[in-house]
Amino acid sequence: MSEFSNVIGDHGEEAAKILLKKLGWTIKPKFDFPCVFPQEHAPGKSEKRIHALDSAFSYSSPLFDGVADLIAISSKYSTKPYKEQQSISYREFVNDVDRAIACLKASDHANSLRARKSCTSERAKSLLFWLHSGDARESFLTYFENRAKPSPKFPNAVVDNFRFSFLWGAMDLIDKEAHCRSANWQFAIHDTGHNGIFRSDSHEERLLPWELMIGGPLVFRMIDGRERHMIICSPEAFTEEALVHMIDLGYAHSGRGWASHTTIAFPDYHELDHRDVVGAVTSRSATEHGKMEMIVRNLFTDSPLRGA
């Protein structure tokens, strides 16, 4: 966890761009563009003339056939913990980026992003980073969920310290595992019912889509010669129920016996405290599903425990 705090402290707002590159996103420098709705976007003030974003990105969604996602990216960094920040600032942050999206869609920047795409429809969204240099596991929802809620027209998602530390830890783990094994890795993309080209099996790629960036576990596939590994990273605390869920997720992604080895990582896993639960759960799972060669470990430290 200390490495995460160093990332935020050393890089500030640039930390978001570093993470996005790890997740396969192509990040362009900060840019501004004309406001298409100058009076509507500056109520009670002089007309809005330009919008500014930290970056924007467009890609063909692996979750929905024929759909391109156009993502407006913006970040806010502070040295203060969330409880010392004003919830009204969060609302203004979200609404300001939401107004920018409406104009981004009509800008030359968006057209240049779309030039490589062959999709039949587009969804515009925002990805916001709200980070501070304090507690790496703190969630902004604790303070802002029930106060000063924004009212965006476009789907929006916020990556806070809690989600950022999880994503950073997951990518650090997969990079180290791939390096040690001289292996190639990819994100495992599940069947949504709308990505028909992949329905015969889970799909893999090196770009993490918006939907998987903002919540839930991450599943990786890694090929080491003839060995096929699956790594599942959970953002939630270790419990018996959570372990069962991750094992079921592993079987769902395994399809036709894809993985020969599976690693499941939790942010708070501790061998002495949790090994008995792991042994009991893996024994029951072997009876129900068949034996899976599995390791349960901590997401942030090198302390694995091989399941029974």
pLDDT digits (tens, 9 = 90+) for 52-94: 999 999 988 888 888 889 999 999 888 888 888 877 688 888 8
Cβ atoms of 252 and 154 within 8 Å: the answer is no
Kindly tell me if the per-residue pLDDT of 216 is higher than 50. Answer: yes
Q: What is the pLDDT of residue 148?
A: 60
Give the span between the Cα atoms of 237 and 246, in whole angstroms.
Answer: 12
pLDDT digits (tens, 9 = 90+) for 249-278: 888 887 655 577 899 999 999 999 999 999
Q: At residue 199, does pLDDT exceed 70?
A: no
**CA-to-CA distance for 137 and 145, rounded, in angstroms?**
16
Tokens found for residue 35? 């406001």
Find how far residue 111's CA is from the centre of its chain: 26
**DSSP H or E stretch at residue 55:** strand 55-60
Residues paired with 122 in a beta bridge: 68
Mean pLDDT on 10-28: 84
What is the tens place of the pLDDT at every residue in 119-154? Answer: 888 999 999 999 988 887 888 877 776 666 677 899
Q: Would you place residue 109 in the very low, low, confident or very high pLDDT band (cuts 50, 70, 90)?
A: confident
Residue written as token pair 């929006």: 156
- pLDDT band for 303, please (50, 70, 90 cuts): very low
Pick 146 or 228 by higher pLDDT. 228
Indicate if the pLDDT at residue 200 is higher than 90.
no
What is the rounded average pLDDT for all residues in the chain?
A: 82
